[in-house]
Structure 1
């Protein structure tokens, strides 16, 4: 099953791209393409970082730029529009995938055709290179429609999630149906994951699949929701949307998700 790995990146994070690319090259699942979408007016820092690794010579790596600063949600959605594989894997520019991530997550969706997404454990990648585990409050396996969103809605800590939303493997049709990543500061992944759980089954893989880098330049560390005046309203909006979606019809999966990826829509997307 083909996977388009979507990475939104701006110039300050260009230095992290070689490690992200190395984690893709290490994947035990070979059917992937990397859609790098550059957020900002100038693409040079990102393209230079990719050139050093040889990524620009890799036909699996497809780079395009916004030519404007649009933020992570819009940038990911532009890459979503470019994509053509039946599955999408988000990979933030400063994070890494575990070597077996795509294989495990794709296998989970193959084994559970009604599921709209699969996710594994995330381990913090600390500045000294060590990995820190995080226990999850859920049992592995199929998470029925509403399970993740209900866990979140009933958690007394309004911003805590039962799984890490940045490492999800998605069925593309579900992401398109939900309108892509939500336009919320620091909650782009949360909004999409909670909406997806409200309409579709998911699968929790009992293995680490994401290395979530912790570093001083991390956007969430510098502009956390606790410092953002609209953070409470954002959380409330996601919760309202979840309640509305949960009361409506569920998502209907595609008849077959094992097709080859179509060609990308815009020739300019190629590096």
Structure 2
């Protein structure tokens, strides 16, 4: 069997929606020779998030000292046995067919991102307001959008060949926007595709990391963006391709 590894970082106190994420994984229909595994990494050592899930051979759990989401995701990557990987935030829900569409796209390109639907606390939903047209991504498009502060996709929908993610060092060691950093690094060295059909319900709630005031402290936020742009630019200038 071929495997797609779903990568999730979680912390104690941020695991209240893990059950819904798991059910959305269980309901995924994959091509006949494919299976999924869930590589879940706690950012911390409480063991509580893992304890909220059933014993399931497809769930591969780890934990370690707190280092942030980027560190947790990169640790989870070391346990991924799949030839392709897909990110899933701990508070989000995969929509039907999401992984199958990722697998199909990754038969053509090195990486892909997809549309998502915002899920609000009152249960209402809304499509992403800036989704591009589905199909191949123009080289450098997302880099340019980030420099203009108008990224048109949610980078947490990112999926790619595992070897590419490993070659890029996993998720950049930043205090946030690590999914954007990986997206821009992949875009710099390999062709990608945007899937117009939504793959995830993106939960909007006051406890999510990007809803906190300190996350948007101007100097730190600017440093994050500068760091990820510098890496993407250095990769492009090096001329290395995957």
TM-score in terms of structure 1 length: 0.83
Q: 1:249 to 1:38 in 2, by over 3 A?
A: same
CA distance in structure 1 between the aligned counterparts of 2:205 and 2:175, rounded to whole angstroms = 19
Partner of 1:136: 130
How far off is 1:183 after superposition? 1.3
Is the Cα contact below 8 Å between 2:132 and 2:196 reproduced in 1? Answer: no
How is 1:120-269 mapped onto 2 (pairs within 5 angstroms)? 120-136=114-130, 138-153=132-147, 155=148, 157=149, 160-223=150-213, 225-252=215-242
- Higher relative contact order, chain-length normalized (CA < 8 Å, sep 6+): 1
Report the secondary structure of 1:13's partner residue: coil
1:80-121 Cα shifts (integer Å, max 9, x gaps): 1111211111111111111110011111111x1xx2211110
1:36 to 36, 40, 43: 40
How far off is 1:137 after superposition? 5.1
Report the secondary structure of 1:59's partner residue: coil
Unaligned ranges ≥5, structure 2? none
Report the secondary structure of 1:211's partner residue: strand
How far off is 1:225 after superposition? 4.2
1:159-178 Cα shifts (integer Å, max 9, x gaps): x3121101111111111111
1:221-255 Cα shifts (integer Å, max 9, x gaps): 01454325321122122222222222222432xxx
2:71 to 63, 74, 83: 74
Partner of 1:256: none
Size of the aligned set, in residue pairs, is 238
How far off is 1:135 after superposition? 3.3
How far off is 1:189 after superposition? 0.7
Is the Cα contact below 8 Å between 1:3 and 1:32 reproduced in 2? Answer: yes
Query: Stretches of 4+ moved more than 3 A in 1?
Result: none
Is the Cα contact below 8 Å between 2:39 and 2:59 reproduced in 1? Answer: yes
CA distance in structure 2 between the aligned counterparts of 1:186 and 1:211, rounded to whole angstroms = 20
Partner of 2:88: 91
2:50 to 47, 50, 56: 47
CA RMSD of aligned residues (A): 1.6
CA distance in structure 2 between the aligned counterparts of 1:224 and 1:202, rounded to whole angstroms = 33
Which has more strand, going by share of residues? 2
Partner of 2:25: 24
Is the Cα contact below 8 Å between 2:3 and 2:81 reproduced in 1? Answer: no
2:59 to 42, 58, 61: 61
How far off is 1:152 after superposition? 2.8
CA distance in structure 1 between the aligned counterparts of 2:42 and 2:146, rounded to whole angstroms = 32
Unaligned ranges ≥5, structure 1? 253-271
